[in-house]
A and B are shown apart, each in its own frame.
Chain A
Amino acid sequence: MKPARAIDWSETADSESDIAERCASGDAQACQDVVDTHQRMVYHLALQLLSNHDDALDLSQDVFLTVFRSIHRFRGDSALQTWIYRIVINHARNRQRWWRRRRRADQVSLDALIEERGELPAPLGPTSPDRALDQKQLGERVWRALNRLPFDQRSAVVLRELHGMRYAEIAFSLGVSNAAVKSRLARARHTLRTELQPQ
């Protein structure tokens, strides 16, 4: 997946403010435009954070309804996309907590994945892992390791590596400081590398 172009906050276009304003005033076409423009991003991010198609679809719908309800509060402090990212993250985090309260631990989805896709391949070698294993298998292992990360670390890695967001944008989306973003990325990468080492 090609990372999305990083969005500079100063690039927030007038047209974006205009469409947000029209959407806030109940213009159905403007709302449709918001969905059309951002639905792929929202659905991808939801899927990457939840690892479940149905949950991702459901969450995407909830996200857009939240966007419509609260778009009158969008002040253009960030790009509309970054603002929507933040809503996705909050929804996904709440859903994670909801599942956790119902004792649906992350390991359950992992087991389901193993059942669906078979057992793990042999562990990676200590050096040059991409040369040691097929890229597809490696990707599968990293993906599973990603799912085991704490939500805050996982969301930081997903936003950086898969969505190409800058630290400042990630910080806005997660509601934390730049330093916290760097820290979470460092810990997440360390954990992922450790997961890929041979047992």
Chain B
Amino acid sequence: MTPLTSPGCRTVRTWLTAAHDDELSVRRHVLLDVHLASCASCRGVRDDLTSLGTALRQGAAQHRPDDVAFARLAPEVMARKAMEPDTRWRHRVQDVIDDRQRLWMIGGTLAATLAGALVWAAFVGLAAPTHPGSLAGLLRTSTALGSNANPLWLVAGVTLPRVAADTRAKAMLIQPLRPLGIPNLALTAVVTREGQLASVHVIHDGVPDAALTRAVSRLASDVRFEPARARGAPVAVNVVWLLERTTVAATPIPDLAHPVGGD
């Protein structure tokens, strides 16, 4: 056990506050009491602390609560509490369900948020340069040689488009069945990558003929081609056919695939 040695005034002064606040150990309290019994100076410091605490309590006692106001405290607190909405989630959800207007608002907000998200996603998707609908994609497509929007001319290295075997009979409808004596007819068109005729025009004596163009376009829509190819890939090409002494069938033609009276 550590012997009790009398502390000096400097040490005691540091203990006085703790002793005043009931935070000093019993052992140190004993030493402190021994010291104070013989040291008037340290007793003066202790008395100052004590009188300061007494004065504080005295001052506080002079500022007593207003009893009338204090009596209102509890009722007012409970009244304010009663007016406060219940913040628990269970009650919040129940309130929302009970309040249809709020439910509609929440539904509308959710729908608007969803629509906004979709628009945003679509915008982001369209804005991606890899998307064919984006500006970059459109420019890329339109400027690519051999695309439908920018067809090639038949030059060396480009194979000719050929009428597909299954639509050859329909192609034959555009042929000189009955000479009409219309010279200098020309058909200009684009054979697309997909093998269809597009941008069909019939030129008669150097002038576009709208009636013939419509009639030919109707027939041409049923004709399929094996598309022209460049380096093995299908490409769109411009074609011009001279249709001298050509008759355009203006009346329905019997289906050649199922000829009438055939065995």
Q: Which A residues lie at the B interface, using CB under 8 A?
A: 1-3, 6, 26, 28, 31-32, 35-36, 39-40, 43-44, 47-48, 51, 53-54, 56-57, 60-61, 64-65, 68-69, 127-130, 135-136, 138-144, 146, 157, 160-162, 166-167, 182, 185-186, 189, 192-193, 196
Contact = CB atoms under 8 A, between A and B. Distances in A.
Contact of B63 (A31, A60, A143, A186): A143
A64 B60 CA distance: 23
B60 A162 contact: yes
Contacts of B88: 26
B72 interface: yes
Given A32-B78, A65-B84, A166-B23, A189 B17 contact: yes
A1 B54 CA distance: 9
A44 B163 CA distance: 103
B253 interface: no
23 contacts: A47-B65, A53-B69, A57-B66, A57-B70, A61-B76, A61-B77, A61-B80, A65-B77, A68-B81, A130-B51, A135-B54, A138-B55, A138-B58, A139-B58, A141-B59, A160-B21, A161-B53, A161-B56, A161-B57, A166-B23, A167-B23, A189-B52, A192-B52
Contacts of A196: 52, 55
B111 interface: no
Nearest to A60: B73
Contact of A64 (B59, B70, B77): B77
A57 B74 CA distance: 10
Contact of B47 (A65, A128, A186): A128
B73 to A, nearest CB: 5
A141 B233 CA distance: 102
Contacts of A32: 74, 78
A71 to B, nearest CB: 12
A36 B55 CA distance: 29
A193 B81 CA distance: 43
Contact of A139 (B59, B66, B87): B59
B83 to A, nearest CB: 10
Overall SS of chain B's interface: helix
B65 A53 contact: yes
B62 A136 contact: yes
Contacts of A146: 56, 59
B48 interface: yes
Contacts of A69: 87
A142 B59 contact: yes
A18 B73 CA distance: 24
By CB atoms of chain A within 10 A, which of B21, B53, B65, B77 has the most?
Answer: B77
Contacts of A136: 58, 62
Contact of B60 (A48, A53, A160): A48
Nearest to A31: B81
B61 interface: yes
Interface string B30-72: 0000000000000010011101111111111111011001101
Contact of A31 (B57, B59, B60, B78): B78
A39 B60 contact: no
Nearest to A131: B51
A166 B23 CA distance: 8
A143 B60 contact: yes
A47 B63 contact: yes
B48 to A, nearest CB: 6
By CB atoms of chain A within 10 A, which of B63, B84, B86 has the most?
Answer: B63
By CB atoms of chain B within 10 A, which of A31, A143, A192 has the most?
Answer: A143
By CB atoms of chain A within 10 A, which of B65, B72, B80 has the most?
Answer: B65
Contacts of B77: 35, 39, 60-61, 64-65
A58 to B, nearest CB: 10
B98 interface: no
B57 A162 contact: yes
B44 A127 contact: yes
A166 B22 CA distance: 8
Nearest to B87: A69
A140 B56 contact: no
A22 B208 CA distance: 93
A21 to B, nearest CB: 14
